[in-house]
Amino acid sequence: MGHDALILVHSMDEIEMVLLALCRKHKLKTEIEFPRDRERLSEKLVGYSNADLEALALLANNYAADALGPESAVTVDFFDKAVSDYLPSRDVEMLEYMELLAVFEASNRRMLPKKYAGMSIDELQTRLAQLQLTCGGRR
């Protein structure tokens, strides 16, 4: 996983784009469709990191394979079960700190989440410094 795995996903459009990309990346068969499955799936995942979404997709795939065999498609029901069982990281300050570290690795402002795209470098550095004081010693 690269630095983009630490970026928090803030909109349902972004979640859907990331989920579908992760399914392609891992060659997962899926029956999820957007916007059809937005209410059952995307709405529940706002604020999850890309790493969380990847873990959910793989967990849902495992549930599908266990229930119906290794060639089965991941349905919204399997994603629902994965969302119910998965325990995402909820240290919000640490996640924001990691996210800002990833922001500073980005080479283009267009790659940044909307939350940060409009902030000046000074604002980003100030927030990173604040979070570093709060989270720097945590592991």
Q: Is there a single domain that holds both residue 108 and residue 56?
A: no
Instruction: Write the pLDDT tens digit of every residue in 1-38.
Output: 444 555 566 688 889 999 999 999 999 999 999 999 99
Q: Is there a single domain that holds both residue 29 and residue 77?
A: yes
Residues spanned by the domain of 126: 92-135
From residue 16, alpha-carbon distances to 48, 62, 107, 121 in Å are: 12, 20, 24, 29
Instruction: Write the pLDDT tens digit of every residue in 84-128.
Output: 998 876 666 777 787 888 888 877 877 777 778 888 889 988 988
Give the three-state DSSP class for 11: coil
Instruction: Write the pLDDT tens digit of every residue in 41-93.
Output: 998 888 788 888 999 999 999 999 999 998 999 999 999 999 999 887 666 67
**pLDDT score for 8:** 61
Give the three-state DSSP class for 49: strand
Q: Is there a single domain that holds both residue 112 and residue 48?
A: no
Q: Is there a single domain that holds both residue 80 and residue 101?
A: no
